[in-house]
Structure 1
Amino acid sequence: MTIFTIDEVTKTFKNGEVEEQVLKGINLSLKEGEITALVGASGSGKSTILTIAAGLQRASDGKVIFQGKNMTNMNQEQIRKIRASEFGFVFQSSHLVPFLTVEEQLMLMLDVSETKTSKRVQKEEVEKILKLVDMDHRKEAYPASLSGGEKQRVAIARAIIHKPKMLFADEPTASLDSKRSKDVMTLIRELTKTLNITTLMVTHDEEMLPYADHIITMKDGLVL
C-alpha cells in the first residue's frame, strides 16, 4: 500500500539576486515495508527531497502526501507532531547524547514522541527494541564505550522505538567500514520488513543498493 507520495515537488533557493531551482518537479510513491534509495552526485537534489519529505523544510511548489494528508497545507505545529509520532530519523552520525546510557537514549525518545504509556511499559518497549538490534546487553553503556557500528545500532533503535510509519536515513553507513555498513543495512532491511516501515534512504555507497527495493537515480534536480 502506498503510504507516502511526492507530487510535482519543486524547490527554489535564492542566492542573492539569483534563483536556483534545486528540484524540478519530482514525483515519487513510497510503499509500506519497502526501502527506496536515492542516489546521485553531490548537488543532484537527493538530500533536499529527503528533508522536504521529512517536513524539515518546505517545498516551493507541489504536494507531499502522508497517509492521505497533504503536509504542504499543514502548519509547523501539525508537522512537528507528525515528525515526533510518525517519523524516525537515522543520520551519518549517531548523534547520541554523551551523558545518557543506551537505555536512557531510547527512554528520552519516547518522552519526546509524547508516547502515552507508563515508565514500566516504556522500559519493556526499550528492552524489546534493544533485543531486536542486538544491543540489550549494552543497555547500561555510555556512547563513549560503544564502537561505530554499535552507536548506529542504538541510533536505529532510537529511531524506531516509538513505532514510526516512516524511517528517513541520510547516509546511514557513511562513517562505517564495509563490514559494519553491511551489518547496519541488514538491520535496516530486517526492521523495515518486520515492522512494516517505509524507509527512504540517501546513499552514495553502491554496495548498499542491493538492500533497497527501489533505486531512484537523480541528476540536476530531476529523477532519471
Structure 2
Amino acid sequence: MTLFTIDKVRKTFKNGEVEEEILKGINLSLKEGEITALVGASGSGKSTLLTIAAGLQSATDGQVLFEDQNLTTMNTEQIRKLRASKFGFVFQFSHLVPFLTVEEQLLLMLDIAESPLKKHEQQSEVHRLLQLVGMAHRKAAYPAVLSGGEKQRVAIARAIIHQPKVLFADEPTASLDSQRSQEIMQLLSELTTTLNITTLMVTHDEEMLAYADRMIKISDGAVLSNTLY
C-alpha cells in the first residue's frame, strides 16, 4: 500500500540574482514496510528531497501527500504535530542529549510526541524497545560513555519509540566503520519489517543498498532511475 506520495516537487533557491533549481519536478511514492534508498552525488538534491518529504522545509512547487494529508497546505503547527506523532528521524550523528541517560532520551521523545501512555506504561515500552535494539543493559548510561554504534542504536530507538509510520534516515551510517554500519543497517532492516515502518534513507554507501527494497538515483535534481530489488 502506498503511504507517501511526492508529486511534481520542485525546489529553487535564490543565489544573488540567479535562481537555482535544486529539485526539478520529482515524482515518487513510498510503500508501507519498505526501505527506499536515495542515492546520488553530493549536491544532487537527495538530502533536500528528504527534508521536504519530512516537512522540515517547504517545496517551491508540487505536493507531498501522507495518507490523506497534504503537507503542502499545512501550517507550521500542523506540520510540527505530524512530525512529532507520525515521523521518526535518524541522522549521520546521533544528536543525543548529553545530560540524559539512554532511558531518559526515549522518555523525552514520548513526551514530545504527547504519548497517551501512563508513566509505568511508558517505562515498560522504553524497556521493550531497548531490548529490541540491544541496548537494555545500557539504559542508565549517558551518551559520553557509549560507542558510536551504541549511540546510533539509541538514536534509532528514540526515533521509533512513538511508533511512527515513516522513518527518515539521512546518512545514518556515515560516521561509523564498516562493521558498525552493517550492524545498524541490519537493525534498521529488521525494525522496518517487524514494526511495518516505511523508511526513506539517504546514503552514499553502495554496500548499504543491500538492505533496501528500492533504490532511487537522483542526478542534478531529477530522478535518474527507480529500481525495485
The TM-score normalised by the length of structure 2 is 0.97
Whole-Å separation in 1 of the counterparts to 2:184 and 2:142: 20
Whole-Å separation in 2 of the counterparts to 1:153 and 1:69: 30
Is the 1:92–1:174 contact (alpha carbons within 8 Å) kept by the matching residues of 2?
A: yes
Is the 1:3–1:68 contact (alpha carbons within 8 Å) kept by the matching residues of 2?
A: no
Q: How far apart are 1:116 and its partner, in Å?
A: 1.6
Tell me the equivalent position of 1:68.
Answer: 68
* Aligned-partner residue type, residue 105 of structure 1: Q
State the SS of the aligned residue for 2:155. helix
- 2:59 pairs with 1:55: no
Is the 1:135–1:153 contact (alpha carbons within 8 Å) kept by the matching residues of 2?
A: yes
Whole-Å separation in 1 of the counterparts to 2:97 and 2:208: 27
- Residues 38-94 of structure 1: per-residue CA shift (max 9 Å, x gap): 000001000010000000000000010000211101111110000000000000000
Tell me the equivalent position of 2:9.
Answer: 9
State the SS of the aligned residue for 2:63. strand
Whole-Å separation in 2 of the counterparts to 1:28 and 1:160: 23
Q: How far apart are 1:189 and its partner, in Å?
A: 0.4
Tell me the equivalent position of 2:127.
Answer: 127
* Aligned-partner residue type, residue 140 of structure 1: A
Query: Runs ≥4 in structure 1, deviation > 6 angstroms?
Result: none
Q: Percent of aligned pairs with the same residue?
A: 75
- Residues 116-144 of structure 1: per-residue CA shift (max 9 Å, x gap): 22111100010010011010011001111
State the SS of the aligned residue for 1:44. coil
Tell me the equivalent position of 1:173.
Answer: 173
Q: 1:24-39 to 2 correspondence within 5 Å?
A: 24-39=24-39
- 2:137 pairs with 1:137: yes
Q: How far apart are 1:107 and its partner, in Å?
A: 0.4
State the SS of the aligned residue for 1:52. helix
Tell me the equivalent position of 1:185.
Answer: 185
Is the 1:38–1:217 contact (alpha carbons within 8 Å) kept by the matching residues of 2?
A: yes
Q: How far apart are 1:190 and its partner, in Å?
A: 0.3
Tell me the equivalent position of 2:92.
Answer: 92
- 2:206 pairs with 1:206: yes
Tell me how large the CA RMSD over aligned residues is: 0.5
- Residues 143-187 of structure 1: per-residue CA shift (max 9 Å, x gap): 111110000000000000000000000000000000000000000
Whole-Å separation in 2 of the counterparts to 1:165 and 1:21: 30
Whole-Å separation in 1 of the counterparts to 2:119 and 2:16: 51
Is the 1:164–1:197 contact (alpha carbons within 8 Å) kept by the matching residues of 2?
A: yes
Whole-Å separation in 1 of the counterparts to 2:59 and 2:68: 18
The TM-score normalised by the length of structure 1 is 0.99
Q: What is the aligned length?
A: 224
Is the 1:5–1:64 contact (alpha carbons within 8 Å) kept by the matching residues of 2?
A: yes
- Residue ranges of structure 2 left out of the alignment (5+ in a row): 225-229
Whole-Å separation in 1 of the counterparts to 2:99 and 2:80: 26
Is the 1:45–1:218 contact (alpha carbons within 8 Å) kept by the matching residues of 2?
A: yes
Whole-Å separation in 1 of the counterparts to 2:15 and 2:84: 32
- Residue ranges of structure 1 left out of the alignment (5+ in a row): none
Whole-Å separation in 2 of the counterparts to 1:144 and 1:21: 41
